[in-house]
A = this chain, B = another copy of it.
Amino acid sequence: MNIELRLLKSFQMVADHLNFRRAAEELNLTQPALSRQIQQLEEEIGKPLFDRDKRSVKLTHAGRFLYGRVAELLNDVEALVKETREAANGERGALALGYTESAMASFLPSLLRSLRQRLPKVLLQLKQEHSEQLAREVSLQRLDAAIISLVGNVHGITSTPIATEAMGIVLPDNHPLTVKKEISLLSLAKENFILFPYQVNPGLFSNIMSSCQNAGFVPKIIEEAQSRILAVNMVAAGLGVTFLSENLAYYCGQGTVFKPLKNPKPLMQYYLVEPANGENPCVVELKKILKL
């Protein structure tokens, strides 16, 4: 079997016009060339597709059958090519994207919204995990990319900083420091701190610890809260104070007050990590949205 799409397209055109000359003209061919093509197609089929009785061209039974189906087939081919182009451009396909809870709590929702808008045909496969686990999965190419807040020494990945969030402090509303506009780290030296467990966000945890050490004290951690809301509630209950990134200040409700910190202050750094040899074009588009 050696049928080429060119033959099928020509067949369709002849069947549309039932006239070789006009069909040839529309195909930008000469009539003899078109005749040859149809002959070739008929030879492959084994039987005539047209009845040419010296004055008119009509479809045979087999020709009618083929005509009824060829349009769909040609459509399929065109669609396949178009969709492959889209896949090459990252407009189509799947994007397995990892993210941390903290990313989802801050800028990720709006990022995902942009992504959906820009790449509506891309299937998003999201996975929430801790930074370290995400980095590992990216290196194994189980994920096409991930947004994490720690860059460890995982091999086979490249990472790019994408966002920095300054940390502030959440105080109980009866705390004396609430009168201040900004608070220095050192003034918190004697406070009881409520923090998240180390493994939830090792990057931020280390950053906070070293910031405090640079300020001249070691924070007294009295409690580990599993979530930000819980930590804030603990502050409201008067158990201590907790760090919270500035753009999440609205978490603070009754009984607590959010205050920015003076520089130098702990920073939460987000990174986009991807496989070193990664080539999912959806990631390229994602980076465009992130203006990288």
Contacts and interface: CB of A to CB of B under 8 A. Distances in A.
Interface of A: 1, 3-6, 44-48, 51, 60-62, 65-66, 69-70, 73, 76-78, 80-81, 83-85, 87-90, 92-93, 279-282
Nearest to A47: B88
Contact of A61 (B73, B81, B88): B88
B73 A88 contact: no
Contact of A4 (B6, B60, B70, B89): B6
A44 B84 CA distance: 10
A62 B87 contact: yes
A62 B44 contact: no
Given A5-B5, A47-B85, A84-B45, A281 B61 contact: yes
Contacts of A77: 3, 73
A46 B90 CA distance: 13
A92 B279 CA distance: 47
Contacts of A1: 78, 81
Contacts of A92: 65
A61 B93 contact: yes
Contacts of A88: 45-48, 60-62
Contacts of A45: 81, 84-85, 88
A90 B47 CA distance: 11
Nearest to A92: B65
Given A3-B5, A46-B88, A47-B88, 9 more contacts: A3-B77, A45-B88, A46-B85, A47-B89, A61-B93, A61-B279, A62-B84, A66-B80, A70-B80
Contacts of A81: 1, 3, 44-45
A281 to B, nearest CB: 6
A141 B65 CA distance: 17
Nearest to A283: B61
A69 B1 CA distance: 20
Given A45-B85, A89-B47, A62 B5 contact: no
A69 B80 contact: yes
10 contacts: A1-B78, A3-B77, A47-B281, A61-B279, A62-B84, A62-B87, A62-B88, A62-B281, A73-B76, A73-B77
A48 B281 CA distance: 12
A1 B82 CA distance: 10
Top 9 A-B pairs, shortest CB-CB distance: A47-B88, A62-B88, A65-B87, A62-B87, A66-B84, A4-B4, A61-B280, A45-B84, A62-B84
Contacts of A62: 84-85, 87-88, 281
